[in-house]
Chain A
């Protein structure tokens, strides 16, 4: 803790960013193959409700003072991810409705809590759009604990999730408890979202989960490569974004996302170049063979 407090705020921001850039794309890759990327958008808004509740609790009740709102945010995100699963069974034929419902519920509740709290609006903008200046030592501690826990769960259950993601029925018959694994996965998503919020902000967490994976999908040939390239793209976007936002004085979340978009375009361009090169060499070999 003392070590964390010794860091300057820029160092804290970068340290937090590195951890997030590592874990968010990994989770994103799993969400991608399970076709659930959009869930990160829904849950991040629920996390906002949790954070708003935490801030309000800090204001009104003495005994909860000092609890970092990120913890209540995580708790709400976890409940939210369980509710999404429940809603999917309620709307069997329109499963995609679950996300907009949970998304608007989270935001609506947050809007009420925010407008009833006495805290100035500018403070909320930091939660919405992220800011490295606000990453406190306590936040950094939370990010590291959550990150370590997330990486541990990922390492332990990587194979099981891979199996479930690509063939849930097969996984079930081989004796993997799909229910338990889905629950753990929900915990993981909640962890990742709540730790990312203090840097990129509620509205932009989804970007950090999807953009790096979307870029790496352009180049990768296997799931492992999707994860690996995703981490590279994620770290690149976070580091460039944090530095850029510091020097240009632009909200951190926005800068990270814009960097992510630029990287996405770069990846798409690179794919085209590689494609063309391959075609050229193929044609050359064809010519050689025919002559």
Chain B
């Protein structure tokens, strides 16, 4: 069953990419959840769709964009989107939580208009939305590998600062941490991870890979470090099981990955008592 993934080159690339995503997404997700920004992942992934649609639309007229992987434009949009969420938070001072649904729905809405204009309602779009096992090329693979190192380096370098900021933002600012710098770079990293992960799990399900393993790990872990470790393990298990079943049953990998994840979560919720 597994051999098939080593027989064909394109499957091997997606398998390794999937494994790396299984580390990256939950690792970023842990910080998102403790900063109470878990919904941010949804908003940013939907904005990524806008960027991809925009890139597809440009690709029809400008040859340069036709050759470019639409994911890059998606990442750019999601960085801009994260800034817009911050800005909207100031506009609706008393209803801060309104910022995320606004960005989320505008992201999809504008994306849909771009897709309509580009006549893009086809199977490719379906793969962008729900993921694909065979969408990963060699170039993508090396990109993800480079990003894995960059993101791990970022987390290791700023681990203490991010932790401090997540648990006690006010004290962190008072003791002189550059909050806006950290916040911005964290959002950029999140946007990049979303862009990378969506190739396998799909735009609509990226956020699941960032929140579900963390939600499961949270119920088992006694410390933040443990939560990080457990969520990566759970993420890896679900990516592996999801990709194998998706390939053999001919289903969308995003769906199977998320359902495996959900299964683990349900089992964990059932066997741990609520505190």
Contacts and interface: CB of A to CB of B under 8 A. Distances in A.
A209 B98 CA distance: 11
A257 B110 contact: yes
Given A112-B251, A250-B116, A203 B97 contact: no
A97 B255 contact: no
Given A108-B208, A116-B251, A253-B112, A100 B262 contact: no
Interface stretch (A53-61, A210-218, A228-236): A210-218
Contacts of B243: none
A257 B211 contact: no
A38 B109 contact: no
By DSSP majority rule, is chain A's interface helix, strand, loop, or mixed? helix
B105 A115 contact: no
Interface string B196-233: 00000010110110011001001000000000000000
A99 B37 CA distance: 12
- For chain B, what secondary structure do more than half of its interface residues adopt (helix, strand, loop), or is it mixed? helix
B97 A101 contact: no
A207 B109 contact: yes
Interface string A102-125: 011101111111111000011011
B176 to A, nearest CB: 28
A153 B92 CA distance: 30
Given A101-B265, A257-B112, A260-B109, A211 B33 contact: no
A37 interface: yes
A102 B38 CA distance: 13
B166 interface: no
Contacts of A114: 130, 252, 255
A154 B116 CA distance: 36
B105 A257 contact: yes
A251 B95 CA distance: 30
Contacts of B121: 122, 125, 251
B152 interface: no
B41 A100 contact: yes
Interface string A72-108: 0000000000000000011110101101110111011
A116 B253 CA distance: 12
Contacts of B250: 115-116
Given A104-B258, A111-B130, A112-B256, A97 B33 contact: yes
A67 to B, nearest CB: 24
Interface of A: 32, 35, 37-38, 40-41, 89-92, 94, 96-97, 99-101, 103-105, 107-116, 121-122, 124-125, 128-129, 201, 203-204, 206-207, 209-211, 214, 217, 249-251, 253-258, 260-261, 264, 268
Interface of B: 33, 36, 38-39, 41-42, 46, 91-92, 95, 97-98, 100-102, 104-106, 108-113, 115-117, 121-123, 125-126, 129-131, 202, 204-205, 207-208, 211-212, 215, 218, 249-252, 254-259, 261-262, 265, 269, 274-275
**What are the 6 tightest A-B residue pairs by CB atom distance, in nearest-first order?**
A257-B109, A108-B258, A111-B255, A254-B112, A104-B208, A207-B105
